[in-house]
Amino acid sequence: MILEPLKPHSREWYARLARELGGYRHPWARVLDGPDPELTFDALLAERLGTGVRVLEAGCGHGPDAARFASGVGRWAAFDAVPELVTQARGNAPHADIHEWTAKGEVPSGLRGPFDLIVSRRGPTSVILRLPELAAPGAAFLYVGPRLDVPQVPDRLVAVGWEVRGEWRVGVRARVPTRQDWGRRCEWMNEPERVPEWDAHAGPDGLPYREERYVVLASAAVSSSAQGPTTRPRAPLPTAVPSGDSLRSAQ
């Protein structure tokens, strides 16, 4: 019997990744010629954490960030839409409060705020529409997406009355070693039209391409009559902070 291929980024597709790869991991080999572009997100996240900070993570995958950070904050709640990933995250991050949710419909009781920081590492951008009911006064939203532009992020922030405080577009030259790896990346990125690039441009070391990220830091808009400056400083460019290996596409 021949199984029908699963639709990329469907719940069933992610469930298969969880079973086959042990989590929400990119299924292709790659070599980066420089620092991981996601380090910008890591640096911004790390400097905003502390013992009293209440964090909500949207799209936690198998829980690498929750496992890394939950024990050092006041509260780390997280959610994912894929039951298999939720189960893995609960096992990997016992200090976090992990729930199954899609960021749509009623907020589960375990995810009700307020939260000081809402983060999304390539997770669902639909959480932006829930910021007014989840965020504490003065809260921040931090997101990293898999492309240089994820238009729905600034659009949705405007829709809920939040402002972008900082944007970072980061890229690094990378390469994939085999045609199969390139095909998997094209499937992940929903770019089937790029598969023929392997035949046209691949060399002995594989095919070069750009690994790119879009990072946004936002907070609720402050009226012109509000007193005093904002208290969040712009983060410096990151140093060698290790990055998680999950890869989430914006939804």
Task: Indicate which CATH number applies to the domain containing 168.
Answer: 3.40.50.150
What is each CA distance from 118 to 12, 91, 115, 147, 191, in whole angstroms? 26, 22, 7, 20, 29
Question: For residue 141, is it within any domain?
Answer: yes
**How large is the average pLDDT for residues 82-100?**
97
**How large is the average pLDDT for residues 7-19?**
88
Confidence at residue 223, expressed as pLDDT on a 0 to 100 scale: 64
Confidence at residue 4, expressed as pLDDT on a 0 to 100 scale: 59
Question: For residue 53, is it within any domain?
Answer: yes
Determine the Cα angle at 98 with ends 37 and 86, to 5°. 75
Question: For residue 37, is it within any domain?
Answer: yes
Domain count, the chain: 1
Question: For residue 145, is it within any domain?
Answer: yes
- Give, to the nearest 10 degrees, the angle between helix 11-21 and helix 83-92: 40
Confidence at residue 239, expressed as pLDDT on a 0 to 100 scale: 38
DSSP state of 221: -
Confidence at residue 8, expressed as pLDDT on a 0 to 100 scale: 83
Residue-wise pLDDT for 134-187, tens only, equals 999 999 999 999 999 999 999 999 999 999 999 999 999 999 999 999 999 999
Question: For residue 159, is it within any domain?
Answer: yes
Q: Are 77 and 109 in contact (CB under 8 A)?
A: no
Residue-wise pLDDT for 46-55, tens only, equals 999 999 999 9
Question: For residue 194, is it within any domain?
Answer: yes
- For residues 109 and 111, what is the distance between their CA atoms, to the nearest angstrom? 5
**Neighbouring-strand partners of residue 206:** 203
Question: For residue 107, is it within any domain?
Answer: no
CA gyration radius for the chain? Answer: 19
Confidence at residue 132, expressed as pLDDT on a 0 to 100 scale: 96
Question: For residue 88, is it within any domain?
Answer: no
Expressed as residue numbers, the domain containing 38 is: 28-58+113-220
Assigned token pair, 117: 């920081």
Q: Are 144 and 123 in contact (CB under 8 A)?
A: no
Is the Cα torsion angle 44, 50, 56, 57 positive or negative in sign?
positive
Count how many residues are written for the chain.
251
Torsion angles phi and psi, residue 231, rounded to 5:
-100, -5
DSSP state of 104: S
**How large is the average pLDDT for residues 65-72?**
96
Q: Are 209 and 28 in contact (CB under 8 A)?
A: no
Confidence at residue 243, expressed as pLDDT on a 0 to 100 scale: 34
Residue-wise pLDDT for 204-247, tens only, equals 999 999 999 999 999 998 765 444 544 444 444 443 333 333 33
Confidence at residue 240, expressed as pLDDT on a 0 to 100 scale: 34
DSSP secondary structure letters along 164-201: EEEEEEEEEEEEESSHHHHHHHHHHTT-GGGTTHHHHH
**How large is the average pLDDT for residues 13-39?**
93
Is the Cα torsion angle 121, 126, 128, 132 positive or negative in sign?
negative
